[in-house]
Amino acid sequence: MNLLDKAKSLVPVLSYDMHKGDCGRLGFFGGCEEYTGAPYFAAISALKLGADLSHIYCEKDAAPIIKSYSPDLIVHPYLRSLENTSGLPENHIDFIHQKIIGTTSKQHAFSIGSGLGRDPNIHKSIALMISHAKNANVPIVLDADSIYIVAQNPQLVSGHKLAILTPNVNEFKTLATALGIDSKPIVENVEKVAKELNGVTIVLKGKQDIITNGISTIYCNQTGGLKRCGGQGDVLSGAIATFLGWGICKSQKRWISEQEISSEELPLLAAYSGCKVTRTASHLTFEKYGLSMQTSNLLEFLGEALTLSFNKPCKL
Protein backbone atom coordinates (compact mmCIF):
# COMPACT_ATOMS: atom_id res chain seq x y z
CA MET A 1 0.00 0.00 0.00
CA ASN A 2 1.40 3.40 -0.97
CA LEU A 3 1.87 6.45 1.24
CA LEU A 4 -1.33 8.20 0.14
CA ASP A 5 -3.50 5.12 0.71
CA LYS A 6 -2.08 4.66 4.20
CA ALA A 7 -2.61 8.33 5.00
CA LYS A 8 -6.16 8.11 3.67
CA SER A 9 -6.93 5.36 6.18
CA LEU A 10 -6.46 7.87 9.02
CA VAL A 11 -9.55 9.82 7.94
CA PRO A 12 -12.63 8.73 9.96
CA VAL A 13 -15.55 6.96 8.34
CA LEU A 14 -18.66 8.18 10.15
CA SER A 15 -21.56 6.00 11.27
CA TYR A 16 -24.57 6.32 13.56
CA ASP A 17 -22.80 4.09 16.10
CA MET A 18 -20.20 6.77 16.88
CA HIS A 19 -20.23 9.17 19.84
CA LYS A 20 -18.94 12.65 20.60
CA GLY A 21 -15.17 12.46 20.87
CA ASP A 22 -14.74 9.46 18.58
CA CYS A 23 -13.31 11.75 15.88
CA GLY A 24 -10.77 13.28 18.21
CA ARG A 25 -10.44 15.37 21.36
CA LEU A 26 -7.45 17.69 21.08
CA GLY A 27 -5.59 20.07 23.40
CA PHE A 28 -3.94 23.26 22.11
CA PHE A 29 -1.46 25.17 24.28
CA GLY A 30 -0.72 28.77 23.36
CA GLY A 31 -2.09 32.27 23.35
CA CYS A 32 -0.82 35.28 25.27
CA GLU A 33 -1.54 39.00 25.48
CA GLU A 34 0.15 39.71 22.14
CA TYR A 35 -0.87 36.60 20.19
CA THR A 36 -4.48 35.45 20.33
CA GLY A 37 -5.08 34.56 16.69
CA ALA A 38 -2.50 31.77 16.46
CA PRO A 39 -4.08 29.30 18.92
CA TYR A 40 -7.48 30.05 17.42
CA PHE A 41 -6.22 29.15 13.94
CA ALA A 42 -4.70 25.90 15.20
CA ALA A 43 -7.72 24.79 17.21
CA ILE A 44 -10.44 25.84 14.77
CA SER A 45 -8.55 24.15 11.91
CA ALA A 46 -8.89 20.85 13.74
CA LEU A 47 -12.66 21.32 13.96
CA LYS A 48 -12.90 22.41 10.32
CA LEU A 49 -11.13 19.19 9.30
CA GLY A 50 -13.44 17.01 11.37
CA ALA A 51 -12.14 16.68 14.94
CA ASP A 52 -14.92 16.68 17.53
CA LEU A 53 -13.49 18.82 20.34
CA SER A 54 -10.75 21.46 20.55
CA HIS A 55 -9.55 22.71 23.94
CA ILE A 56 -7.28 25.77 24.15
CA TYR A 57 -5.05 26.35 27.20
CA CYS A 58 -3.93 29.97 27.16
CA GLU A 59 -2.75 32.86 29.32
CA LYS A 60 -5.50 34.23 31.54
CA ASP A 61 -5.74 37.62 29.80
CA ALA A 62 -5.90 36.05 26.34
CA ALA A 63 -8.86 33.82 27.16
CA PRO A 64 -11.74 36.33 26.82
CA ILE A 65 -10.46 37.40 23.40
CA ILE A 66 -10.06 33.84 22.12
CA LYS A 67 -13.48 32.90 23.50
CA SER A 68 -14.98 35.75 21.48
CA TYR A 69 -13.66 34.32 18.21
CA SER A 70 -15.79 31.17 18.28
CA PRO A 71 -18.30 29.43 20.56
CA ASP A 72 -17.09 26.09 19.16
CA LEU A 73 -13.83 26.21 21.12
CA ILE A 74 -13.36 25.26 24.78
CA VAL A 75 -10.99 27.82 26.29
CA HIS A 76 -9.15 27.27 29.59
CA PRO A 77 -7.48 30.43 31.05
CA TYR A 78 -4.94 28.44 33.06
CA LEU A 79 -1.51 29.65 31.92
CA ARG A 80 -0.13 32.62 33.85
CA SER A 81 2.52 35.13 32.87
CA LEU A 82 4.85 36.47 35.55
CA GLU A 83 2.72 39.58 36.01
CA ASN A 84 -0.44 37.51 36.49
CA THR A 85 0.52 35.32 39.44
CA SER A 86 -0.96 37.32 42.31
CA GLY A 87 -3.32 35.27 44.44
CA LEU A 88 -1.75 31.97 43.40
CA PRO A 89 0.07 29.66 45.85
CA GLU A 90 3.86 29.80 46.07
CA ASN A 91 4.13 26.53 44.13
CA HIS A 92 1.78 27.88 41.47
CA ILE A 93 3.57 26.16 38.57
CA ASP A 94 2.75 22.73 40.02
CA PHE A 95 -0.73 23.98 40.96
CA ILE A 96 -1.39 25.09 37.37
CA HIS A 97 0.05 21.86 35.95
CA GLN A 98 -2.22 19.68 38.07
CA LYS A 99 -5.19 21.81 37.07
CA ILE A 100 -4.35 21.35 33.39
CA ILE A 101 -3.70 17.61 33.40
CA GLY A 102 -6.93 17.12 35.31
CA THR A 103 -8.71 18.10 32.08
CA THR A 104 -6.49 16.42 29.48
CA SER A 105 -6.76 12.72 30.34
CA LYS A 106 -9.26 11.97 27.55
CA GLN A 107 -7.52 14.03 24.87
CA HIS A 108 -5.95 12.12 22.00
CA ALA A 109 -3.19 14.57 21.01
CA PHE A 110 -1.69 17.93 21.97
CA SER A 111 -0.42 20.86 19.91
CA ILE A 112 1.87 23.27 21.74
CA GLY A 113 3.36 26.60 20.74
CA SER A 114 0.91 28.64 18.65
CA GLY A 115 0.99 32.19 20.02
CA LEU A 116 2.84 31.03 23.12
CA GLY A 117 5.21 33.98 23.49
CA ARG A 118 8.39 34.08 25.55
CA ASP A 119 7.16 34.63 29.11
CA PRO A 120 9.42 32.50 31.37
CA ASN A 121 6.60 31.60 33.75
CA ILE A 122 4.45 30.24 30.93
CA HIS A 123 7.46 28.36 29.57
CA LYS A 124 7.82 26.54 32.90
CA SER A 125 4.25 25.28 32.60
CA ILE A 126 4.79 24.29 28.98
CA ALA A 127 7.99 22.39 29.79
CA LEU A 128 6.00 20.34 32.29
CA MET A 129 3.34 19.61 29.65
CA ILE A 130 5.92 18.48 27.10
CA SER A 131 7.43 16.17 29.72
CA HIS A 132 3.96 14.91 30.67
CA ALA A 133 3.15 14.11 27.03
CA LYS A 134 6.39 12.15 26.72
CA ASN A 135 5.84 10.19 29.93
CA ALA A 136 2.19 9.45 29.09
CA ASN A 137 3.05 8.69 25.43
CA VAL A 138 0.55 11.28 24.18
CA PRO A 139 1.10 12.39 20.56
CA ILE A 140 2.28 15.99 20.43
CA VAL A 141 2.97 18.68 17.84
CA LEU A 142 5.53 21.34 18.80
CA ASP A 143 5.74 24.61 16.90
CA ALA A 144 6.92 28.21 17.26
CA ASP A 145 8.13 29.12 20.77
CA SER A 146 7.78 25.57 22.06
CA ILE A 147 10.69 24.72 19.73
CA TYR A 148 12.69 27.37 21.58
CA ILE A 149 11.83 25.56 24.84
CA VAL A 150 13.04 22.27 23.37
CA ALA A 151 16.24 23.94 22.15
CA GLN A 152 16.91 25.00 25.75
CA ASN A 153 16.30 21.46 27.06
CA PRO A 154 16.24 18.77 24.33
CA GLN A 155 15.73 15.97 26.87
CA LEU A 156 12.16 17.17 27.36
CA VAL A 157 11.18 15.54 24.07
CA SER A 158 14.11 13.28 23.20
CA GLY A 159 12.95 9.72 22.58
CA HIS A 160 9.26 10.58 22.35
CA LYS A 161 8.43 8.71 19.15
CA LEU A 162 4.97 10.32 18.89
CA ALA A 163 6.35 13.87 18.94
CA ILE A 164 6.43 16.04 15.81
CA LEU A 165 8.35 19.32 15.62
CA THR A 166 7.38 21.73 12.82
CA PRO A 167 10.13 24.37 12.57
CA ASN A 168 10.46 27.00 9.89
CA VAL A 169 13.97 27.78 8.65
CA ASN A 170 14.84 30.12 11.52
CA GLU A 171 13.42 27.81 14.18
CA PHE A 172 15.34 24.92 12.65
CA LYS A 173 18.57 26.92 12.88
CA THR A 174 17.91 27.56 16.58
CA LEU A 175 17.23 23.88 17.24
CA ALA A 176 20.10 22.52 15.17
CA THR A 177 22.59 24.95 16.71
CA ALA A 178 21.49 23.95 20.21
CA LEU A 179 22.18 20.31 19.28
CA GLY A 180 25.58 21.09 17.78
CA ILE A 181 24.43 20.26 14.23
CA ASP A 182 25.02 22.27 11.06
CA SER A 183 22.00 24.57 10.77
CA LYS A 184 21.87 24.70 6.96
CA PRO A 185 18.28 23.63 6.12
CA ILE A 186 19.06 20.59 3.98
CA VAL A 187 17.71 17.08 4.31
CA GLU A 188 20.90 15.59 5.76
CA ASN A 189 20.89 18.05 8.64
CA VAL A 190 17.17 17.58 9.30
CA GLU A 191 17.78 13.83 9.55
CA LYS A 192 20.66 14.45 11.96
CA VAL A 193 18.43 16.55 14.22
CA ALA A 194 15.77 13.82 14.27
CA LYS A 195 18.39 11.19 15.10
CA GLU A 196 19.92 13.36 17.83
CA LEU A 197 16.45 13.62 19.37
CA ASN A 198 16.15 9.82 19.25
CA GLY A 199 13.34 9.34 16.77
CA VAL A 200 11.32 12.52 17.10
CA THR A 201 9.75 13.47 13.75
CA ILE A 202 10.84 16.78 12.21
CA VAL A 203 8.81 18.68 9.62
CA LEU A 204 11.00 21.38 8.08
CA LYS A 205 8.57 23.76 6.40
CA GLY A 206 9.64 25.29 3.11
CA LYS A 207 9.23 25.21 -0.66
CA GLN A 208 8.91 21.49 -0.11
CA ASP A 209 8.25 20.08 3.34
CA ILE A 210 10.93 17.66 4.57
CA ILE A 211 9.51 15.07 6.97
CA THR A 212 11.85 12.67 8.76
CA ASN A 213 12.31 10.65 11.94
CA GLY A 214 15.98 10.14 11.17
CA ILE A 215 15.39 6.72 9.62
CA SER A 216 12.64 7.31 7.08
CA THR A 217 12.34 10.54 5.10
CA ILE A 218 9.44 11.68 2.94
CA TYR A 219 8.59 14.92 1.19
CA CYS A 220 5.41 16.88 0.61
CA ASN A 221 5.53 18.75 -2.69
CA GLN A 222 1.81 19.49 -2.92
CA THR A 223 1.22 22.86 -4.61
CA GLY A 224 0.42 25.55 -2.06
CA GLY A 225 -0.58 29.19 -2.28
CA LEU A 226 1.99 31.85 -3.12
CA LYS A 227 0.90 34.24 -0.34
CA ARG A 228 2.93 33.71 2.82
CA CYS A 229 0.53 35.35 5.27
CA GLY A 230 1.04 34.73 8.98
CA GLY A 231 -0.92 31.94 10.62
CA GLN A 232 -0.60 29.18 8.04
CA GLY A 233 1.89 27.38 10.26
CA ASP A 234 -0.73 27.36 13.02
CA VAL A 235 -3.22 25.78 10.63
CA LEU A 236 -0.59 23.14 9.86
CA SER A 237 -0.10 22.44 13.58
CA GLY A 238 -3.84 21.96 13.97
CA ALA A 239 -4.01 19.72 10.92
CA ILE A 240 -1.15 17.47 12.04
CA ALA A 241 -2.61 17.24 15.55
CA THR A 242 -5.93 16.21 14.00
CA PHE A 243 -4.35 13.36 12.05
CA LEU A 244 -2.39 12.26 15.12
CA GLY A 245 -5.61 12.21 17.13
CA TRP A 246 -7.36 10.26 14.39
CA GLY A 247 -4.55 7.73 14.47
CA ILE A 248 -5.13 7.15 18.18
CA CYS A 249 -8.91 6.97 17.71
CA LYS A 250 -8.40 4.50 14.87
CA SER A 251 -6.19 2.31 17.07
CA GLN A 252 -8.98 2.34 19.67
CA LYS A 253 -11.44 1.02 17.05
CA ARG A 254 -13.60 4.14 17.19
CA TRP A 255 -14.66 3.48 13.60
CA ILE A 256 -14.51 0.63 11.09
CA SER A 257 -11.18 0.41 9.28
CA GLU A 258 -9.40 -2.56 7.75
CA GLN A 259 -6.02 -0.85 7.29
CA GLU A 260 -3.78 -1.01 10.37
CA ILE A 261 -1.33 1.81 11.12
CA SER A 262 1.53 1.12 13.53
CA SER A 263 2.63 3.62 16.15
CA GLU A 264 5.95 3.86 14.28
CA GLU A 265 4.18 4.88 11.05
CA LEU A 266 1.70 7.30 12.61
CA PRO A 267 3.89 10.43 13.06
CA LEU A 268 5.21 10.34 9.49
CA LEU A 269 1.73 9.73 8.05
CA ALA A 270 0.10 12.39 10.23
CA ALA A 271 2.78 14.93 9.33
CA TYR A 272 2.49 14.18 5.62
CA SER A 273 -1.31 14.32 5.73
CA GLY A 274 -1.32 17.62 7.60
CA CYS A 275 1.14 19.14 5.13
CA LYS A 276 -0.82 17.91 2.11
CA VAL A 277 -4.17 19.21 3.34
CA THR A 278 -2.78 22.57 4.48
CA ARG A 279 -0.94 23.15 1.20
CA THR A 280 -4.05 22.21 -0.79
CA ALA A 281 -6.22 24.58 1.25
CA SER A 282 -3.64 27.34 0.82
CA HIS A 283 -3.64 26.83 -2.95
CA LEU A 284 -7.44 26.95 -3.13
CA THR A 285 -7.51 30.09 -0.99
CA PHE A 286 -4.89 31.87 -3.08
CA GLU A 287 -6.74 31.01 -6.27
CA LYS A 288 -9.76 32.87 -4.91
CA TYR A 289 -8.21 35.76 -2.97
CA GLY A 290 -4.78 36.33 -4.51
CA LEU A 291 -2.68 38.98 -2.75
CA SER A 292 -5.47 39.78 -0.30
CA MET A 293 -5.44 36.21 1.07
CA GLN A 294 -5.41 35.92 4.85
CA THR A 295 -5.28 32.81 7.02
CA SER A 296 -8.86 33.42 8.14
CA ASN A 297 -9.83 32.90 4.47
CA LEU A 298 -7.98 29.58 4.39
CA LEU A 299 -10.26 28.06 7.04
CA GLU A 300 -13.21 27.91 4.65
CA PHE A 301 -11.29 25.62 2.28
CA LEU A 302 -10.05 22.99 4.76
CA GLY A 303 -13.01 20.67 4.29
CA GLU A 304 -12.72 20.82 0.52
CA ALA A 305 -8.96 20.31 0.75
CA LEU A 306 -9.47 17.17 2.84
CA THR A 307 -11.85 15.75 0.24
CA LEU A 308 -9.56 16.63 -2.67
CA SER A 309 -6.48 15.24 -0.91
CA PHE A 310 -7.90 11.84 -0.05
CA ASN A 311 -11.01 11.36 -2.22
CA LYS A 312 -12.64 9.35 0.54
CA PRO A 313 -16.31 9.24 1.57
CA CYS A 314 -16.87 10.44 5.12
CA LYS A 315 -19.67 7.99 5.93
CA LEU A 316 -20.50 4.31 5.56
Q: Is 84 annotated as a binding residue?
A: no
Q: Is 196 annotated as a binding residue?
A: no
Q: Is 229 annotated as a binding residue?
A: yes
Q: Is 227 annotated as a binding residue?
A: yes
> What is the reported pLDDT for 91?
92
Q: Is 159 annotated as a binding residue?
A: no
> What is the reported pLDDT for 1?
61
Which of the listed CATH numbers 3.30.465.10, 3.40.1710.10, 3.40.1190.20, 1.10.10.10 matches domain 18-310?
Answer: 3.40.1190.20
Q: Is 214 annotated as a binding residue?
A: no
- Give tens-digit pLDDT for 102-146: 999 999 999 999 999 999 999 999 999 999 999 999 999 999 999
Q: Is 279 annotated as a binding residue?
A: no
Q: Is 174 annotated as a binding residue?
A: yes
Q: Is 235 annotated as a binding residue?
A: no
Domain range summary for the chain, segments of one domain joined by +: 18-310
Q: Is 107 annotated as a binding residue?
A: no
The 10 Å CB-count burial string (b at 16+, else e) for 5-40 is ebbbbbbbeeeeebeeebbbbbbbbbbbbebbbbbb
> What is the reported pLDDT for 5?
87
3-state SS string over the chain? CCHHHHHHCCCCCECCCCCCCCCCEEEEECCCCCCCHHHHHHHHHHHHHCCCEEEEEEEHHHHHHHHHHCCCCEEEEEECCHHHCCCCCCCHHHHHHHHHHCCCCCCCEEEECCCCCCCHHHHHHHHHHHHHHHHHCCCEEECCHHHHHHHHCHHHCCCCCCEEECCCHHHHHHHHHHCCCCCCCCHHHHHHHHHHCCCCEEEECCCCEEEECCCCEEEECCCCCCCCCCCHHHHHHHHHHHHHHHHHHHHCCCCCCCCCCCCCCHHHHHHHHHHHHHHHHHHHHHHHHHHHCCHHHHHHHHHHHHHHHHCCCCEC
Q: Is 117 annotated as a binding residue?
A: no
- Give tens-digit pLDDT for 186-244: 999 999 999 999 999 999 999 999 999 999 999 999 999 999 999 999 999 999 999 99
Q: Is 172 annotated as a binding residue?
A: yes
Q: Is 173 annotated as a binding residue?
A: yes
- Give tens-digit pLDDT for 46-74: 999 999 999 999 999 999 999 999 999 99
Q: Is 60 annotated as a binding residue?
A: no
Q: Is 75 annotated as a binding residue?
A: no
Q: Is 20 annotated as a binding residue?
A: no
Quick check: 33 pLDDT over 90? yes
Q: Is 228 annotated as a binding residue?
A: yes
- Identify whether the C-beta of residue 266 lies closer than 8 Å to the C-beta of residue 244: yes
The mean per-residue pLDDT over the stretch 160-185 comes to: 98
Whole-angstrom distance, CA of residue 175 vs CA of residue 114? 17
Q: Is 258 annotated as a binding residue?
A: no
Q: Is 206 annotated as a binding residue?
A: yes
The mean per-residue pLDDT over the stretch 253-276 comes to: 93
> What is the reported pLDDT for 150?
99
